Amino acid sequence: MANGFSSDGSFSLFYQKGWAWLVVRPPEGKGKPVYLEDIENRMRLLRIPRVSAKTLRGFIENASGVQEPLVEWPDGDYLTAAIHVSVDESAMVARLGVDPPKKGAAPPTADEIEDALRRRNVVYGIDRSAIARIAAYQDYGKTVVIARGASAVHGEGSKIIYHFNVNRGKPYREMDFGRIDLKELNFIENRKKGDLLAEIAPPVKAANGRTVTGISIPARPAGENAFLLAGENTVLNEERNKLFATADGNAKISDSGEIRVEPVVSVENVNYETGNIHFDGSVVIKGGVADGFTVEAGGDIQVGKGVGRATLKAAGHVLLKAGMTGNSSGSVECGGNLFAKYIESSQIVCRGHLFVEEAIMHSRITVWKNCVLGGRRSELIGGAALVGGSLWCKKLGNLYEVPTYVAAATRPELFLSCREAQKSLDAKEAELDAAETKLAQFEKAVQEGHGNDEKILQAKIQIQDQAQVLASEIAGLRRDLPNLRERLVAESGCILVCEEIIYHGVTIVFGRLEFRVPDNGSRKSVLRAGEHEIIESGYNFRDRPKIQFEDD
């Protein structure tokens, strides 16, 4: 060569696809050619079937550097690279691992790797770029994901995306009866005129999936499409897929599913400067409510500071961030949930759930759903509690055995009907006793010769008529009361949980069943209604029972 470069000839012997293949590269310049004996020795070492010397010389003489088949060699398969293919149980992922070939075998080709995949029925979602990379760069000794199936895309009807909190004021979902942080609750979702309140997300078209082994995964068809209902102070766009506020106020969803914006009244305090408040929307009171004042709202009421001898009525929720000390004349009535730091000497009527952070003391509470005391103290002391669902606290009553009455798992409307009927019966029986006493006095006056006066006779007839009416009404009440009491059955699934102690002096009823607290109290108790009695079991903090909420 012009530059005087020389190199000896060389050869390669290797197994591939059932054959021994030979590559003979010619010498360059003054280099030496490949020797026949070297090829024969390598063939014997690899146990390649014999080939005539004449044939081998022909390869040497015609050295071209091109891979050529030499002889069939099925036994050479033991030298090849091991290709491992695994498919997971779901058949959605296939993995590949390639061990390096032994000396004397060619590296695996992309075709050989694909053949290995086909033998394992992997036919879908194959990453051919990964196969090419392994073959080209001989990337051995690793396990890689070589194929992925396609999950079915289940059809969905169009759905509503809300741009305001529709699940506000429900700490029981996240806090699991732990401490209720009233500072973080906010029932009022203030929005401005023109704000986007909700929009329709387009439906999702169903698409079948496929496993890596080619099996089809059927997709569920789309369900019904959602639609927006425009309520008070809202408007839909022309396409009816977006809804906007037309006024400032509290965004919420009505019971009928309409999205509405109710006006919000916000005041510092309710006192002589504001007077009583009667408002169709929601009311936010940053400070407190002075004694003797009334706040009525068609929406929610939120009070930042203390409430005393005041009256609060809300069609929605009530949030008392600093509690209430009613001094026996303060009251709260709400159609939704009530949240309070504490309640003392107050009258409460709550048609939702009642959540109290610290204590309920010497109050009369009527709760249609569950009552949860979830703070550090969690005490219910004195007064009477009528709870339609479950009750959760740490202490019931106190060491001084103050009378405390609890009716749990008892529908308030049935309980109140029974109580009113009994109260009416007692009052009418007292009236009848008084009427009969007067009649006896008239009879005595007649016997003494003073009963012929016209006025006395008329009064006697009037009292007799009154007594007959009372007797008839009493008979009706006595007839109805057993039927009302028969319906007074404990609601299934409801429990009373007391994490620490129920003191003696507490009366507990579930429907018509009564639980008698031992003289030394009952510690760590879970009560539930049995068929004929209230069943008591121990409270285990590590395996706490759960109260059921209607939207769990």
Asked if pLDDT for residue 469 goes beyond 80, the answer is yes
What's the mean pLDDT when you consider all of the chain? 87
Which has more confidence, 428 or 253? 253
How many other C-beta atoms can be found within 10 angstroms of the C-beta atom of residue 315?
Answer: 17
Q: What average pLDDT score do residues 83-111 get?
A: 89
What is the predicted pLDDT for the residue at 181? 62
What backbone phi and psi angles, to 5 degrees, belong to 379?
A: -110, 140
Give the model's pLDDT for residue 552. 44
Model pLDDT, residue 450: 60
DSSP labels, 5-36: --B--EEEEEEETTEEEEEEEPPBTTPPPPPH
In this prediction, residue 231 has a pLDDT band, given cuts at 50, 70 and 90, of very high
Find the mean pLDDT for residues 484-491: 73
Helix or strand (DSSP H, E) at 278: strand 277-279
Is the Cβ–Cβ distance between 76 and 20 less than 8 Å?
Answer: yes
The stretch 453-466 carries a mean pLDDT of 77
In whole angstroms, give the CA distance from residue 507 to residue 5. 111
Angle at 42 between CA 37 and CA 43, to 5 degrees: 95
Q: What is the pLDDT of residue 551?
A: 55
Higher pLDDT, 281 or 208: 208
Identify the pLDDT of residue 173. Answer: 47
pLDDT tens digit sequence for 500-519: 999 999 999 998 888 989 98
The tens digit of pLDDT for each residue in 162-211 reads 999 887 666 554 555 555 666 556 667 888 999 999 999 999 999 999 99
Distance CA 278, CA 249 (A): 17
- Is residue 435 scored above 90 in pLDDT? no
Check whether 98 has a pLDDT greater than 80: yes
Strand ranges of the sheet holding 259-262, from the earlier edge strand across to the other edge: 190-191, 249-253, 259-262
Dump pLDDT digits (tens) for 113-137: 998 999 999 999 999 999 999 888 8
pLDDT score recorded for residue 67: 87
pLDDT range class, residue 426, cuts 50, 70, 90:
confident
Q: pTM of the full predicted structure? A: 0.60
Q: How high is the pLDDT of residue 501? A: 95
Spatial contact of 548 and 497, defined as CB atoms under 8 Å apart: no
Give residue-wise pLDDT tens across range 333-380.
999 999 999 999 999 999 999 999 999 999 999 999 999 998 888 999
Distance CA 374, CA 181 (A): 10
Give the pLDDT confidence score for residue 314 in this predicted structure. Answer: 96
